[in-house]
Structure formats: C-alpha cells, structure tokens
Chains A and B, each alone.
Chain A
Amino acid sequence: MTEVLEKIGAVPRISEIYGTNLTTIADGLPGWMNHTRYPALKAFQRMGIPGFRTENYKYTDLTRLFENENFRRSFTPDNFEVNLSEVFSCDVPEFDTHLILTVNGWYDEISNKDTQYPEGVIVKSLRNAIKENTELVEKYYGKLALSDEDPLIALNTLFAQDGIFIYIPDNLHISKPLQIINVLRSDDDLYVTQRNMLIAGKNSQAKIMLCDHTLVPQQFINNNITEVQIGEEAVIDIYSIQNQHNKTASFSGIYVHQERSSELVTNAITLHGGIIRNNLKVLLDGEQASAKICGLALSDKNQHVDNYTNIEHIKPNCQSNQLYKNILDDNSTGGFTGRIHVLPYAAKTAAFQRNNNVLLTNAAKMNTKPQLVIDNDDVKCSHGATVGRINDEALFYLQARGINEKEARLMLMFAFAHEVLAEIKIEKLRDVIDQLVNKRLRGEVSKCHSCALDCIR
C-alpha cells in the first residue's frame, strides 16, 4: 500500500480524491459554499502538508501521517446506529447538559431530534442551516478560518460538507451547558472533516463543551474547524476535553471574532490522543473585549500534543491572558506556540501569556515558542515560558512531612495542573476533570476508546 502512495505524494493524491468525489462533495450545497473549494485547493497545493518547514508547524510534522494514510473518506453520512446508552453514559445525572451529537463529522439527525433547547436557540446541522438560515451562514462562513493561512483550514474548506450550527439570540443567557459530542466510529480507518459555526448574539451567554469520542480502535484523522462570532457584551466559554486513543490524529481549529466588551474563555484539556494539534485564533475586534485562553496537556507513550494560539489585538483597551501547561512522560512530545500580536492602533492593550512545562523523562521533549509582536507603545505585554522538573525543594518538603516520594510527586504534578483546571467555570465539570486528571496522572485512565467522562463511573 505505502509503496504506491510514496510515489504519488500526499498533495496530488488528496487533490485527486477531491477531483474524483467533487460532485458528491458539492451535492446539495449552494454555489457560494462550493466556490470556496477551488481557492482552498490552490492554497493547499501551494502550502503543502504542514511539516517542520512550515513555520507554524515547526514542531508538528504531519508529512509522514499524510504520506502514509489511505483512509476512507466519509462523503455521505454513515448509517451507523449509535448506541445511545453507550454515548450518553457520560450524561451522569448531576451533569445536566443539552446534548448535540455528531457521527464522523455529520450532524446526527436521529439522536438529536428530541433534544430541547431554550427558546430562540437554533441548533441544527450546518447543511440545514445553509438551507434555512442562508443569510447568517453565508455572511460568516469562511470569514475567520482562512484557507490561505493554514493548510489544515484549506483541507477542511476543501472537503467541508457538514457539522453543527449553533445560534444564540441576543440577550439570552443559557444556564445549562451545550455539550457537543463528536463520535468517531468506523469499520475501517477513516478521515473525517467537520465544519461548525457558532454565532452568539449581543449580550448572550453560553457555555459550550466539546467532547471527542472514539468508539472503535480504528485509526482516524479528524479535521474539525469551528468559526465563532461573539457579539457585543456576550460571554462565551468553550471547554474541550480530548481523550482519544493513540492512533487518532485530531486537528481542532477554533477561530473567534470578538466584538466590544465580549468575554471569551477557552480551556483545552488533553488527556489522551495520538497526534493532537489545537489551533486557536482570536480577533479582539471591539474595545474592552477580553479573552482568557487556557490549556493543559498530559501526554505519555508516543503521543504528541501541540497547542497553537494567535491572539490579535485589533482594537484598543482589550485584554488577553493565556496559560498553557504540559506534563510529558515517556517518549511524548509537546509543542506550544503562542503569538500575541498588538496592531498599531490597539493602545492600552494588556496581553499576557505563560507556558509552563514539566518533563518526566529524558526521552520526552518539549518545544515552546512564545512570541510577542508589538506595534504599539502604549501596552502592557509579557510572556514567560519554562521547561523544568518537579521542584526539588517542594518535593523534599513534602517528604519531610512523611509523604512518600511517589505520592509527593503526584501531589506536586496535580498542583501544577490544577492551576489550569481552576479556570473552568462550570463547577461540576471542574470537579469531574480534576478527578480525571488525578487519575490520569496516576496512570489509571487508560481506557482510550471511550470518552473522557465515561471513565469516572
């Protein structure tokens, strides 16, 4: 299999897959959407597969992954009957959410049909939204995730067919979190494309949870992109919990536009995964907008977790605050690239960033690349990055109080990780994840083809 592939190369092969399936992909979708595909193809061909030569992917080389894959593409919904009890097992009683389900990147009409949402909230498949809410989707589609900026965006745009569309009307505060569960299920190795859109009206409030859920041990590549528009004074939290098996390659891109006085919180908790790359771009495009961006990754074996953030301060008086942490064990590798860009007119910007990492073995490797690009003098900006080990003094102190070394290490690692978890504003979720992280650090969370929240039962 691989012999043939090597000769062709990933870019022409993927281009060919697109060419062959062009009509199926475009079927049922309007011209304005299908017209974004050709420029995306050009952009993809120009940039190629992201690898160490691509500055933004310096520490996540995807060339081997793409050269060697010959996964099935799911250009029409797979008719799997999703075993609801299996999927909803994480819906423990005290954890009350509005559930939204996708299967292999497709909005699952059957499972979602009975879900009730607060009045005015629209949750539907992107395909239906394109038909029924054409104006909204057309206005925002492809405006934040730009094919020219990233080969993975180009690929997503090239193959995008479905995903979730969420609209929260002005002034509505949703108290129950919206929980999106992306189920991956296939009898053969599968390449999945999913495209979502979230539009939060003025002064709306909502909390979104993203859970990735791999039900079978097959290999997956999941290219999932979400464009988020946050209106004036809206408050949106996005939490993602990534717990997939080691053969999954998961690329998640979240592209956010914030208007005046809006508040964004994101927190990406990565417990397991094969190759994980999270892209997050935030445009602070209204005065007094603020963004709190966090992430925690625990990795071992041969896992790779890379978080990339790009915070653009466009308007004055905005604030951003980033906190990312990694704990790396075994042969795992970690990457962090955090970019703060203050544009010339963004006076009185306050932008801070911190990346702290702990290496547990010499085979583990952490690459970090915090960046400040400052084009205005009236700003308060700083970044800090550390790569280190468990603090010897603290370890000794705990041992001197009678705690054995292993336990003391775990305590310190947990304390290290907890700073990120403390930023989760849904109390129940924070407790659940606290426990999960604790177990993960103890090596007790290893049931990989199941979702994170299942593990606590």
Chain B
Amino acid sequence: MLVIKDLYAKVEGKDILKGINLTVNAGEVHAIMGPNGSGKSTLANVLAGHTNFEVTHGSITFNGKDIFDMSPDIRAKEGLFLSFQYPVEIPGVSMVNFLKTAVNEHRKYRNEKELTAGDFLKLMREKKAMVQIDSQLTNRSVNEGFSGGEKKKNEIFQMAMLEPTLAILDETDSGLDIDALRIVSNGVNMLKTKDNATILVTHYQRLLDYIVPDFVHVLYEGRIVKSAGKELAIEIEEKGYDWIKKELGE
C-alpha cells in the first residue's frame, strides 16, 4: 500500500530525514517510535504533503501512485489520513460544515453522489456513537476551545467519517488521560479492517498496550535504525532508547 524508498527531507534548511525505507501493507499496524527530534512528526507531515517540509531525495508511492505529484487534498482523497499532533483551530467554521465538505469532496473524487444533509447527519450520528464523541463538540467551530483530549477524539471521529485506507496517527496519545486514551484506541481498533493500515507515531509504549502493532520501528536521527515485532516496544519501555544508541556505536 505504502512504499517509502530512501527518503530525505529537510525543514528550514535543516536535514531531518536521512534515508527512510518503509513498506506498509494492507491490514498491518506499524508503530514508529523514537526519541524527541528523531524525525517522527516530520515523516508524518511529509506523507501528508505539508509544504514546510522539503523532500530532497527518495520516493513515496501510495497504492502504486507517486505521492509527490499530489497536493495534500488529493492525498487525503486517495485515502491518506493524518491525525494531527496539534489539531488546528478554525474559528467560525462549524464542524458540521467542515466535515460535510470533506466527506462530499471524498465522494466526488470517487465519483459517488454527494450526501444530502439528512444522510450526512445520519452518518455523523452513527460515527459519533462509534467513537463516543460528545454531541456538543460537533456543534462548535472546528477544534475551537476544545480541550487537548477533545481535539484528539475529534481527530479519530473525523477518521471514522472519512474511512481512510492509511491512517497516520501523530502522537495521538500525548496529552490524553487514561479514559480518553481508551476511547481513542477503541475507535482506532474498531475502524481497523484487512483493507486498511495504520501508522502509529509515538514516543511512548503506552498507546501500544491498546493498539497492538504488527511491526515496531525505531527512528533515530532521521533513519529507521531498528525494526522488529511488538516486543521491541516493550524492550524500549524497559530500557529507554539509550541501548539502541549504544548498539549504533555512539
């Protein structure tokens, strides 16, 4: 589904990613871990197409298509979803209007009929129940005045609405209390099918107790330095990242 080959990227002239290789297949859950500043969020943003990040080398194909030819909204409509580490507030734009536009843009892209207001509201009710999001939130402006936990729940709710084939969850666990973490994880697990895939970007192992990964990768100084099964996450939890740095001979 997603193939990243020898990816280099920089932010404000500074090299952050230095040769990433990663393949994600349908039905898989990948966790990308690593210490602060290792490039985790950069990778997530490069995948989504943020213009602040400049790709200098390498390729990314998504469902066989070169992703660099696509603007961020096309990538989204191709089925790539980013759950933001810091969801953006958009004053005055109601959640309903925002999501209705998003959902219908996706449908138009797939040559499907746009949803009527009634159908849309019905869909929204279903999904809201599924991710246990407070009804009140959808009556407000996008992320405006939401608490940290509400913002993250809102991201998962949007994911439920848009049903992406590849979901990238950027530090979705940060700033969540245990109940919110459970709700968010439940949402992610519930949306999992054999046809879609998930990339969890996280600093801590905590989230992986709830969403069990098939593969764990350690990102360090812009490269994936270690890949293994879920047991790697547990090892990191116990020992921290230092032993990996030592292994790398630093």
Q: Does a CB–CB distance below 8 Å link A and B in the complex?
A: no
